[in-house]
Amino acid sequence: MDIITLLVVGFALLLLLQWKLSRPKGFPPGPIALPLVGNLLQIDFTNPLKDLKAFSKVYGPMFSIYLGFTPAVVIRELKHVKEILVNKGVDFADRPQNRLIQLISGGRGLIFAGYGSSWKEHRRFTLSTLRNFGLGKKSMEQRICEEAAFLIDEMKKNKGSLYDPHFVLGNAASNIICSIVFGRRYNYDNPTFRDLLNLVHEHTKRTSGFWAQLFNAFGFIKHLPLPHQKVIRNIKVIFGFLRNVLEEHKRTRVPNQPRDYIDCYLDEVDKEKQDGYKSSFDDENLLTCMLDLFIAGRETTSSSLEWTLLYMMIYSDVQEKCRTEMDTVRGDRDHLDYEDRVRMPYTQAVLREVQRFASILPLGVAHSPIKDVQLNGYTIPKGTFIITDLSSVHYDESSWKYPYEFNPDHFLNKDGELIKTESFLPLSAGPRVCLGENMAQIEIFLFFTTMLTHFEFHCADPKSPPDLTPVFGVSQTPRCFKMRLVHRT
């Protein structure tokens, strides 16, 4: 009798769990979800893009999956992605919250904060402060050129030997945002900063992996000795570094004489205290903004530069065309200015094709509707987890002539002039678009042209080209590779 009772209770629980994982009325269709785990076991999180594509062939460009008990809607193809990000951008401008996001940001800061007054205040303040420190001005370009000179000096130390550019490119990109936010740059031989960059890089991979998703689904595993513990340890170390930077600023700052973003933020806190204004500006929000700016300012730029060098090695004819155009425009100057790009359509097309073909930010950052929304005949409840598959836009066969080939002609007309295409969304679009997008494009152009001025890039072994299979994460990066640097006289 006890066994029969247990079986009945167990069967009832399974039915209850299955009911909990049944799709609400009007929700987009999708694969059948298993009890407890949903569709987690049906997706390869080392690279979920191929599984999402397979689901879309069955259920259409808008479908739903369950991440444990959490329903999520996946959006693919330009028409539908643009509807979410742009046409109904405000309706979908919120961010979903889960255990991992709460652990990392607590819903604060610039990237994962909900679409409310705090996020609006911090985004407005951050944009204004970045402009004050050179965003969109010549001073920002000078800052990048100065860092490019350090980068070239570091790379020259390794000419003639096989060279892995991963760390120096990450350090160079990080130094631009660090100089604005922290008021300083870090030398390439700084072991503490090198370790931090390695942690940040690992962090962007692990937070999108299977164990992170399992932690989101089952909070009770938080204290179990499983791989998600690495995510928890990493974020503690990263925040420890940022807290030390913040405390140093508090000890050394002179009020109303800001050296950087942190000082400006602390001045804002003082001002609002004096005015008696109840504000969201506090230490915890500042630390999260520091983290957001640091990771966003480093990851996409350094990934883009790594992919650029990798493709230049493999497509030597493209490298040579860029160099010829660059040398023609540069003349006898020692470096190019950002405004020179208007006379360099082919180089611009190459840099855009790198970001398209590598799909640097494959799934963007998750969105969520601020209210119940009707979309293409479906009802999307407020708070639903929305995944915008930007990679599907970049490989859309109806938008690109050769979607699965690296071909700069995608961005050129028959006369060799640069063209715009709405199917190019490297850093998303709409109200929640990356606020450092313009700065990233300036960095990529100036770093790339400076490196191409000084070096030729060749495969370590011409008979065995490097693997182009990306490493999936918040940003897609190349697998580790080495190259031969040939110094140009």
Domains of the chain from N-terminus onward? 2-487 (1.10.630.10)
Whether the Cβ atoms of residue 286 and residue 246 lie closer than 8 Å to each other: yes
Q: Which of 155-164, 204-213, 341-350 has the lowest mean pLDDT?
A: 155-164
User: What contacts 323, CB < 8 A, 6 or more positions away?
Assistant: 452, 456
Percent of the chain with pLDDT over 90: 70
* CA gap 78, 55 in Å, rounded: 17
CB contact at 8 A, 341 and 464:
no
Two tokens at 247? 């405390």
Provide the 3-class DSSP secondary structure of residue 67. Answer: strand
Percent of the chain with pLDDT over 70: 95
> Average pLDDT, stretch 348-371?
95
DSSP-based three-state secondary structure for 21 = coil
* 458, containing H or E segment: strand 455-459
pLDDT for 21: 58
Element of type H or E holding 445? helix 437-454
Residue 238 has pLDDT above 90, yes or no: yes
Poorest-confidence range of 62-71, 191-200, 430-439, 470-479? 430-439
CA within 13 Å, CB half, 106: 13
More confident residue, 158 or 466: 466
Mean local confidence (pLDDT), 336-355: 96
Tens digit of pLDDT for each residue in 126-184?
999 998 888 777 788 999 999 999 999 999 988 777 899 999 999 999 999 999 999 99
Non-local (6+) Cβ contacts of 301 within 8 A are 173, 176, 440, 443, 444
pLDDT confidence bin for 3, thresholds 50/70/90: low
Question: Higher-confidence residue: 3 or 168?
Answer: 168
Q: Tell whether the model's pLDDT for residue 398 goes beyond 70.
A: yes
In the predicted model, what is the mean pLDDT of the chain? 90
Tell me which amino acid residue 10 is. G
Query: CA-based diameter of the chain, in Å?
Result: 92
User: Are the CB atoms for 307 and 353 separated by under 8 Å?
Assistant: no
CA distance 451 to 156: 10
Distance CA 96, CA 259 (A): 35
For the chain, the first-to-last Cα distance in angstroms comes to 88
> What pLDDT was estimated at residue 18?
46
Q: Is the pLDDT of residue 297 over 90?
A: no
Q: Are 398 and 85 in contact (CB under 8 A)?
A: no
Provide the token pair at 52: 């999402």
Most confident by average pLDDT, 93-102, 136-145, 388-397, 421-430: 388-397
Alpha carbons 351 and 337: distance in angstroms, whole number: 16
Q: Are 308 and 165 in contact (CB under 8 A)?
A: no
Confidence check: pLDDT of 365 > 80:
yes
| Relative orientation angle of helices 191-206 and 283-314, to the nearest 10 degrees | 90
Q: Which two tokens stand for residue 484?
A: 């031969």
Q: Decide: 165 and 306 in contact? Cβ < 8 Å.
A: yes
pLDDT at 20 over 60: no
Tokens for 475, please give them: 């940003």
Q: Which residues pair with 62 in a beta bridge?
A: 75
Name the least confident of 193-202, 267-276, 318-327: 267-276
Pull the structure tokens for residue 113.
């904060």
DSSP state, 435?
A: T
- Rounded CA-CA distance 80/94 in Å is 17
Q: Is the pLDDT of residue 9 over 50?
A: no
Residue-level pLDDT at 455:
94
Task: Please report where in the chains the tokens 């390869």 appear, as a residue.
Answer: 44
Whether residue 335 has pLDDT greater than 90:
no
Q: Are 105 and 113 in contact (CB under 8 A)?
A: yes
